[in-house]
């Protein structure tokens, strides 16, 4: 029985012979009654006793549980006895030869050890002896009506019997040999098929285990990438990546190195093992060294796998004496190598090409997450600086703007009036809401309820006032921008007019005189002066034009 539950077909010759002899005995028991009944009227008293005795023996071995060899030899003895009795009584003209040939055939089928040849030889010798005695007159055939047989009749009978017996014996033995050979070939073929089936089942099982391992690795890789992608801090991201790879892929040490901008030095930034934790922050110089897998990976930008079984390529790290297999992979983003992942295993040949492919994909995704977090940090810093600059610029701009405008108004029952001293002591029963623009307070709103009403302000009222303050801030900023745009437009218009006036003449004195006059008019100056010529000491006079 194989592991697949399919039984190997077998042929049991002994079991077949036992079944065959039972069938022969049953058939002989039924037909024996018919033969006795047919031959009984013409048979002698001696033949009747012989036939009844043989039939009783036949019934006994058919009905009673009898050993196989006893059944076989008794069956051969009975058929031989019937054949010998027929030849002894009738000579070659009776059916004795049929029983003797049946004995030879049964001996070939039921027994081995050349029993059929012995039975055939004995039958031929018996026939020759009976023939010789009958021809010499020493023995007369027992049947009273048996015809006389001459030497030619006995010779033909014995020759025919010998030829038929030899043919039957040879054919039966050849059939037995061919059948045994076919059975052996079938058994061999089935054994080969069973062996091949077992090998295929083992291969399928190995492939199934391999596929399950790959699925587990892909599942672990997916979970690891998801956990890494959720991290928003660089150091925490590298630490999580090293720990998750070590934990979910069952490697006893994982280290992550980050390269500097020139790719001359690599710094250990994360470690999953206690042995590697004291080494954090250390660096090593990237130099051409084939014995150093870290340097080789940086130079070639490809994954390197080594094992202590291949001692020619394996370099033992004194910091990690348990390492028997090692894989070093590059961390690359958009073709730019930013670091290295160093993975150690305490198992020999722990890394295959499929492992390298899965882990390299994980390393690439880790590098992308690292670069995204780094860019995100840089963006945050730039936004922080921009907000600070915007706040400062807003403060400076509104300080100038408020210095040129009335900076406070108050509503009273008498109407709206400007407030010239807004920094007076604030009353404690009012509501004060700042007006904020770009994180900078540019003003405030002060509200005070009528006398007789509650001085408490609800959350809804406060929220409404805060929203109004936001709209006020936006309106003020828009107003300031419009005012600034109008001034810029006026300034550009004055510059254009000034350029037009100056270009109306080609005379230098006229140009200078016109420029001086226009400058005084544009800026409403008391005096304007344009000086032509190189700078001269104060004691020397210079040529100038005044307006």
pLDDT mean over 397-404: 69
Which regions of the chain carry the CATH code 3.30.450.40? Answer: 247-378
Taking phi over 0 as left and psi of -120 to 50 as alpha, with beta for the rest, 137 belongs to left
Count of helices and strands (H, E) across the chain:
11, 12
Residue 472 neighbours by CB under 8 Å, 6+ apart: 435, 443, 445
pLDDT band for position 141 (cuts 50, 70, 90)? confident
Instruction: With beta carbons less than 8 A apart as the criterion, state whether 123 and 161 touch.
Output: yes
Rg over alpha carbons for the chain, rounded to the nearest Å, is 61
**Displacement of CA 201 from its chain's centroid (Å):** 20
d(CA 330, CA 338): 8
Q: What is the pLDDT of residues 166-177, one digit of tens each?
A: 998 888 888 888
Residue 349 neighbours by CB under 8 Å, 6+ apart: 307, 309, 325
Name the residue among 536, 517, 537 with its Cα closest to residue 527. 517
Q: What is the pLDDT of residues 180-224, one digit of tens each?
A: 888 888 888 888 888 898 999 998 888 888 787 778 777 777 777
* Residue 206 host element (H or E): helix 151-229
d(CA 169, CA 166): 5
Query: What CATH code is assigned to 247-378?
Result: 3.30.450.40
Q: What is the pLDDT of residues 470-524, one digit of tens each?
A: 888 788 778 878 877 887 887 777 777 767 766 766 667 777 777 777 777 766 6
Name the residue among 424, 361, 435 with its Cα closest to residue 398. 435
Between 23 and 47, name the one with better pLDDT.
23
Name the residue among 405, 359, 402 with its Cα closest to residue 254. 359
Provide the whole-model pTM. Answer: 0.48
34-48, 112-126, 396-410 — most confident range: 112-126
């Amino acid at each position: 029985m194989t592991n697949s539950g399919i039984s190997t077909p077998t042929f049991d010759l002994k079991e077949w012979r036992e079944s065959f002899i039972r069938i022969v005995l049953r058939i002989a028991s039924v037909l024996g009654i018919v033969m006795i009944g047919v031959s009984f009227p013409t048979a002698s008293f001696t033949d009747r006793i012989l036939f009844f005795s043989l039939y009783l023996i036949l019934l006994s071995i058919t009905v009673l549980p009898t050993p196989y060899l006893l059944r076989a030899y008794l069956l051969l003895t009975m058929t031989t006895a019937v054949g010998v009795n027929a030849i002894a009584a009738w000579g070659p003209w009776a059916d004795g030869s049929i029983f003797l040939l049946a004995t030879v055939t049964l001996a070939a089928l039921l027994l081995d050890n050349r029993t059929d040849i012995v039975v055939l030889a004995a039958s031929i010798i018996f026939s020759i002896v009976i023939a010789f005695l009958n021809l010499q007159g020493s023995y007369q055939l027992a049947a009273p009506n048996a015809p006389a047989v001459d030497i030619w009749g006995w010779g033909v009978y014995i020759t025919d019997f010998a030829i038929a017996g030899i043919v039957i014996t040879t054919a039966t033995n050849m059939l037995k040999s061919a059948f045994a050979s076919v059975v052996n070939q079938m058994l061999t073929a089935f054994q080969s098929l069973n062996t091949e089936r077992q090998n295929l089942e083992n291969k399928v099982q190995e492939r199934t285990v391999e596929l399950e391992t790959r699925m587990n690795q892909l599942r672990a890789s997916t979970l690891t990438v998801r956990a890494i992608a959720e991290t928003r801090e660089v150091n925490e991201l590298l630490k999580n990546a090293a720990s998750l790879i070590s934990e979910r892929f069952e490697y006893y040490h994982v280290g992550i190195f980050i390269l500097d901008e020139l790719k001359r030095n690599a710094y250990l930034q994360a470690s999953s093992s206690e042995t590697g934790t004291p080494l954090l922050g250390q660096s090593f110089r990237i130099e051409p060294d084939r014995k150093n897998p870290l340097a080789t990976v940086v130079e070639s930008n490809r994954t390197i796998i080594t094992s202590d079984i291949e001692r020619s390529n394996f370099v033992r790290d004194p910091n990690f004496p348990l390492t028997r297999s090692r894989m070093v992979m590059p961390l690359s983003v958009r073709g730019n190598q930013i670091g290295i992942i160093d993975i150690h295993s305490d198992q020999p040949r722990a890394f295959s090409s499929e492992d390298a492919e899965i882990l390299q994909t994980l390393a690439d995704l880790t590098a992308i997450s690292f670069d995204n977090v780094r860019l995100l940090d840089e963006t945050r810093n730039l936004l922080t600086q921009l907000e600070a600059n915007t706040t400062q610029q807003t403060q400076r701009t509104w300080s100038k703007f408020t210095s040129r405008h009335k900076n406070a108004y108050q509503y009273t029952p008498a109407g709206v009036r400007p407030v010239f001293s807004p920094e007076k002591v604030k009353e404690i029963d009012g509501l004060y809401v700042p007006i904020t623009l770009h994180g900078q307070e540019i003003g405030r709103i002060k509200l005070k309820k009528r006398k007789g009403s509650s001085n408490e302000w609800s959350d809804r009222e406060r929220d409404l006032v805060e929203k109004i303050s936001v709209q006020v801030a936006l309106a003020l900023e828009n107003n300031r921008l419009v005012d600034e745009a109008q001034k810029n437009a006026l300034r550009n218009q004055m510059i254009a007019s000034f350029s037009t006036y100056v270009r109306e003449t080609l005379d230098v004195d006229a140009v200078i005189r016109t420029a001086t006059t226009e400058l005084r008019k544009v800026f409403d100056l008391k005096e304007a002066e344009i000086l032509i010529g190189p700078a001269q000491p104060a004691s020397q006079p210079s040529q100038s034009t005044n307006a």
